[in-house]
Amino acid sequence: MFSNKEIDYSLFGIFLGDGYVDKTRRNQMSIKHAPQQREYLESIRACLIESDRRVSNINTLGSGQVFMRTHITARHWNFNRAWKSTGVKYPSMYMLDRLTPLGLAWLWCDDGSFRVNSSSGSRQGRLAVCSFTIKEVDKMMDSFTKNFGITGIRQIQQRGYPMISFNSTGMRQLLDTVLPVMDYIPPSMRYKFDLQYEGRFDYSKKLMIYNESAFPEYRYSG
């Protein structure tokens, strides 16, 4: 169970990913995902309920996407802490310096990816940060190093969008950071993390056995 403040700080990770907050109200967050990610959304909901946070049921939109809302504490969402003067959300230092390991895990589930290079066998990760400027991405990368000890490299994709790349060391550092909260990440999303680092460290053995009773309102069969 997390404190009220820890939940708000963790929700910063979802906001920097796929979450949406109405900048005129700033008292609730909307979270929307593809139907294949319903289990992920249900795991977030279960975590919020466990921490006594008000949260809606999960609804299905006409597009097939799954959607829910949760209450947020407005004082942590002052306009300049989340949005530029133009109204576009951005990674403020207020958010980055308060981001929790759970928030980082949620951000990675939203926008991170992991792959093993087929030719070299190296293990690599990428965080898509297309909606942010290069300067903002550099601040994100610096905050990951300062606050979590995670090192990455800012790169520019072919279409000109920035991303943060992580080599095998960076992926190990990321996993070391989020491992204590990995039980809040459902099995369907754990493929995004390097749970068997170079074949030498089977981190999955450190995880609790997945307890379906933690998600009593949801049974997903495919």
Domain assignment present for residue 15? The answer is: yes
Question: Of 35-39, 185-189, 198-202, 215-219, where does mean pLDDT reach its minimum?
Answer: 215-219
Residue 187 has a CB neighbour count (10 Å cut-off) of 11
Domain assignment present for residue 118? The answer is: yes
Domain assignment present for residue 107? The answer is: yes
CA distance 19 to 26: 12
pTM, two decimal places: 0.86
Domain assignment present for residue 43? The answer is: yes
**CATH at residue 119:** 3.10.28.10
Task: State the pLDDT confidence band at 213, using cuts at 50, 70 and 90.
Answer: very low
Q: What pLDDT score does 204 carry?
A: 53
> pLDDT of 24-67, one tens digit each?
878 899 999 999 999 999 999 999 998 889 999 999 998 899 99
Domain assignment present for residue 221? The answer is: no
Domain assignment present for residue 21? The answer is: yes
> Per the structure, how many domains does the chain have?
1
Domain assignment present for residue 219? The answer is: no
Expressed as residue numbers, the domain containing 14 is 4-214
> pLDDT of 155-189, one tens digit each?
988 778 899 999 989 998 999 999 889 888 988 89
